[in-house]
Structures are given as structure tokens and as C-alpha cells.
Amino acid sequence: MTQVVEAHQLTRKDFISSQEVRWCPGCGDYAILATVQRILPDLGIPRERFVWVSGIGCSSRFPYYLDTYGFHTIHGRAPAIATGIRAANPDLSVWIATGDGDGLSIGGNHLLHVLRRNLEVRILLFNNRIYGLTKGQYSPTSERGKVTKSSPFGTVDYPVEPASFAMGCGATFVARAIDVSANPLGAVLRRAATHHGAAFVEIMQNCVVFNDGAFDSFASKADAPDQQLHVEHAKPLIYGRDRNKGLVFDPRSLMLRIAEIGVDGVTEADILVHDETNPFIGSLLARLPHPEFPVVLGVLHAASRPTYEDGLATQRIRAEGNEAGPKTVQELLSSGRTWRVQ
């Protein structure tokens, strides 16, 4: 008699590891971890197919706290390790947890290439605009003039805009969210999980010890309605407490401007409709300066393009059908023009 064993329905508890979570009390990483553990069971992926990869930093403790496979690697090199994992086993769901320092400073070059290659990984970049693990030095995303232990007179650097960086690298999925906004963050992560290609999600995360309140100007409940614009595909870019403000495209300057509905003849029909498949619109939204403009949250850009793994699979098929090609590594190394040093 054949016994039918039903698949175990995963829950949040299945993704909670036995490790003690060790972040500073009140750290935004707790909120991100809770949201990730909440959405992973809904993805329909067996737990043994998840792999979390991290570099160095507070965010990089993530693999310890998820009961999945994981690699805690070296500073900035998580994309390189993730590339090897996906290339060797494309059936795995590979996620990268990185920070603004780990991902955009020493790891900027690696992040650039994993995005342009369109490797199918989900990249969560925790942006707290500070180096938290090493106790409060300014990071690549710190605002100009930021006074820290490593910039006592204020930094003279211009900050990196993570979402704009990702767009410039040719990322096929770029999104933004806030650590404590659980539902919007969860929605973005679910979208990222199903994207065919490299999915980049910037999560604005509060560091309560070394950079507390870095995002209060738009993340606080009092300011959020007038300082946040949540985008949806095919929906007009409208925001505000009274839903009376929106973004209008100026064809002369090729820039966006804020317009008030009902003022100077502006109607809802004049407001730009978000097209997440259009990289030009995504780039404009990623570059909008705050506080002159609201901070744009949600999926800024999502497009379809063959992945790095697709290309590798095609190469394997060609190699298997090429009878004249090298069959071993030694044959490959010895093929073509070679010479011997006496």
C-alpha cells in the first residue's frame, strides 16, 4: 500500500534559527528580519532551496538568524559568492544581505557586475547612511557635511544614491522600502522574489546608536503622507495627505516637477502615470532629491531581460554539441596559441 505524505506547510517559525539575535535594541534590522521570515513561507519554495549570502557589517549577520543555508563571506564579496552558487545550481533561491558600506564601498565593483549580468539573485541593501559595526564612521551614502568619527569637520563627499546606482548598472528590478513599514516592505520583497533576474531592494534602515533618526524627515508617521510617494505600475504619481499633489513631466527640461491638482488648471489627467518597465522613468524617480521632492517608495523599475544563467545554459548546450571542442580542462588550457618557456 502506497502511503501519501503531504508536503509540510511552511510557517514563519520554520525560518527562525536557534541563534540568539544580536543587534542593538531598537535596530531596524529586527523589523527587516521579521518581515523576511514572514514572507518566505508564502513563496512556495522548499526551505532547503534557500541560500542567504552576506559580506561584513551589521546586516551581514542575517544568515545566522534564518534557518536556511547560508554563507557569511568577506567584505563586499557576497555578489561573487552568490554568482558561484547560482551558476553551479540555478535551482536555488539565492538572497544577498548587504549594507551601504559593504555593498557600495569595498563591494561596489562586485555589486555593479552582478546587476549588469542580471544574475537571478535578490539583493537586500540595508541603508542606514553610516558604518554601524565599526562604530560610526561616515559611509558612501552619508549626506554631505555629515559629522562622524571619521569626518569630525563634516564629510566633503557627495553621497551615492543606491537606487540610482542600481539603475545605472542596468538592473532589471529596482525598489525601495523602509524597515518598519512591514506591509510595503513585504510587498516589495514578494515582487523581488518572483523576478527573473537581479532584484535590487534598498531598505532604509535606522541605526539607533550611531545615526538615529536619519530618515525621520520622511519616515515618521506625522511626515509620511506628504513626504512619501508610493508608486504602483499604471497608476498616477499622486501623493499627499489629501492626495492632491503629483509629479508632472516637463518635456522642455526632461525633468519632473511637483504640481497641485486643482491649481493652475492641473487635473489628475496631467499627472505622470508610473510605468515600471520604462528605465527612463525609473531613473528620474531614483534621482529625485529630498526634501525638494517626496521620497519614492515601491517598485521603481521592473523589466524583462535574459539572465546570466540563461546565457550559461545556452553555452553548455553549444559545448555539448561541439564534437571538435576541448573535452577536459587540460585540453582547454592547451588549445589555441600556446608557447613553452625554456
In whole angstroms, give the CA distance from residue 279 to residue 115.
Answer: 14
Between CA 112 and CA 297 the distance in angstroms is: 22
What CA–CA distances, in Å, run from 317 to 85, 87, 120, 168, 306? Answer: 20, 15, 20, 32, 16
Q: pLDDT per residue over 284-335, tens digit each? A: 999 999 999 999 999 999 999 999 999 998 887 777 777 666 678 888 777 7
Q: Let me know whether 140 and 61 are in one domain.
A: yes
Q: How many domains does the chain have?
A: 2
What span, in angstroms and rounded, lies between the C-alpha atoms of 92 and 80?
16
Q: Is 317 part of a structural domain of the chain?
A: no
Q: What is the mean pLDDT of residues 236-240?
A: 97
Q: Which domain, by its residues, includes 250?
A: 236-273
Give the whole-angstrom CA distance, residue 165 versus residue 287. 10
- Reported pTM: 0.92
Cβ atoms of 14 and 39 within 8 Å: the answer is: no
Give the type of residue at 140: P
Grid-cell match 519614492, residue found: 296
DSSP conformation class of 131: B
Residues in CB range of 5: below 8 A, 6 or more apart: none
- Quick check: is 334 in a domain? no
pLDDT, tens only, 16-57: 999 999 999 999 999 999 999 999 999 999 999 999 999 999
Which has the closest alpha carbon to 319: 332, 338, 334? Answer: 332
The answer to whether residues 121 and 146 belong to one domain is yes
Asked whether residue 209 is assigned to any structural domain, the reply reads: yes
Q: Assess if residue 77 is contained within a domain.
A: yes
Same domain, 265 and 167: no
Describe the chain by its helix, strand, coil percentages, rounded to 5.
35, 20, 45
Q: How far apart are CA 74 and CA 126, in angstroms?
A: 17
210 and 259 in a single domain? The answer is no
| 253 shares a domain with 189 | no
Asked if residue 41 belongs to a domain, the reply is: yes
Cα-based angle 195, 199, 200 (whole degrees, multiple of 5): 155
What pLDDT, in 10s, does the model give residues 96-124? 999 999 999 999 999 999 999 999 999 99
Task: Examine the domain organization and report whether 267 and 209 are in the same domain.
Answer: no
Give the Cα separation of 162 and 112 in Å (integer): 11
Burial 235-253 (b: 16+ CB within 10 A, else e): ebbbbbeeeebbbebeeee
Cis peptide, bond prior to residue 291, ω within 30 of zero: yes
Residues 57 and 200 in one domain: yes
For residues 210 and 300, state if they share a domain. yes
Same-domain status, 95 and 226: yes
In a domain, 313, yes or no: no
Residues linked to residue 95 through DSSP beta bridges, in sequence order: 52, 122
Is the domain of 123 the same as that of 245? no
Query: Do residues 180 and 203 touch, judged by C-beta distance below 8 A?
Result: no
Average pLDDT, the chain: 94
Q: Are residues 262 and 214 in the same domain?
A: no
Cα gap 82→60, rounded to integer Å: 14
Mark whether 70 and 96 lie in a shared domain. yes
d(CA 281, CA 292): 18
Q: Which helix (H) or strand (E) holds 190?
A: helix 182-194
Query: Within a domain: residue 329?
Result: no
Which pLDDT band holds residue 4 (cuts at 50, 70, 90)?
very low
**What's the grid cell of residue 180?**
518598519
CB 284 within 8 A of CB 256: yes
| Tens of pLDDT, residues 251-270 | 999 999 999 999 999 999 99
> What is the DSSP-derived secondary structure letter of residue 129?
S
> Does residue 52 belong to any structural domain of this protein?
yes
CATH of the domain at 217: 3.40.50.970
Contact 185, 179 (CB under 8 A): yes
DSSP states of 193-248 as a string?
Answer: HH-SS-EEEEEE--BTTTBTTTTHHHHSTTTHHHHEEEE-TTSB-EESTTS-EEEE
